[in-house]
Structure 1
Amino acid sequence: MKRYHELDVTLLPPEPYDPQNYLLQWRLHMRELINELFNMFVGGNLFSAAAMTRTLMECCVYGKVIKQEKSARLLEDWFLCGMIRGLRGENGALWQAGVKIVYELCSDWNRDPEETIRRFKKGNENEWLASVLPSKGRISFYQVCEYLQEKELYQTY
């Protein structure tokens, strides 16, 4: 954790499949989680520390899938899924602004915006992994760990 915290993630070059450097946001999020986890542990808030440890493990696993697949399309799915799911429950101007951004991104990425919104609005938070892990239902963390052959990590989880 200390090594990752000291790493200046903003200086990491973008991956070839990520010219917009969306993974930078993922790395920054993980660094924030590490800071919060450390503060929770030091402060004695072990229940929150346990929950944040699980969240950090999930981030590591999902990031590993993206790095392993090296797919711009998968990275776009992750980004769009997060945006669309973040708009749930919003209405009015915020919803309209978010939908406008989704439409613009879909146009840039040669996607049908209505289908994209429908797909990620109805699925679970891991719906962006459907192209890698076809499933008849909800894609679980267990399935992702199994795909990566990280069974020990899931057992620790």
Structure 2
Amino acid sequence: NWDSGCVDGDYTEAGLMQPIVGAAIEVLRKYGVDVHTDYPENDMNISACVEYANNHGLDLYVSLHCDWNQAPSGTYPIVHPNSNSGYQLAQCINASVMLRMGIGTRGILKRDDWEVTDTNMTACIFETGSIRADINTLLNASAYGQAVAYGILDYLGIAYDGNAPAPSPEPT
């Protein structure tokens, strides 16, 4: 079943992530990345997304989320504990987002969450920030989505001519 995710007042996780995802997709496709997604409908639950990714032999799985209203400020990527490539992907996205959005991080969490455990490819759950503490940053959807995309391009080794410098893959 469809799930709006966390909610804070008039804001829903799904409503905040949708334009961020759309902006990221636009940049990734501009640079030739083959993107599979349920955007803009957002009509697949996580189980269906993982099944789709596995059945289509995808190389990367990135799932954007925002943390609940009591979470502290900052990004919080989640990767499988045994996935070096997942950790590298999280580092690249995190570094790009921190550089371009001015948001801090709570680190990269190595945990065997179902979404990164049951995917057959490099996977990262990217918690973009707290739905309350980081709302102003999350509402800057176009810039945030571009930052996510540039991090993925960094991971893939695809050069781009974005208007911000390429970040170091190591978050500070």
What's the TM-score, normalizing by structure 2? 0.30
Structure with the larger strand share: 2
Of structures 1 and 2, the larger Rg is shown by: 1
The answer to which structure, 1 or 2, has the higher relative contact order (CA under 8 A, 6+ apart) is: 2
Q: Which has the higher helix share?
A: 1
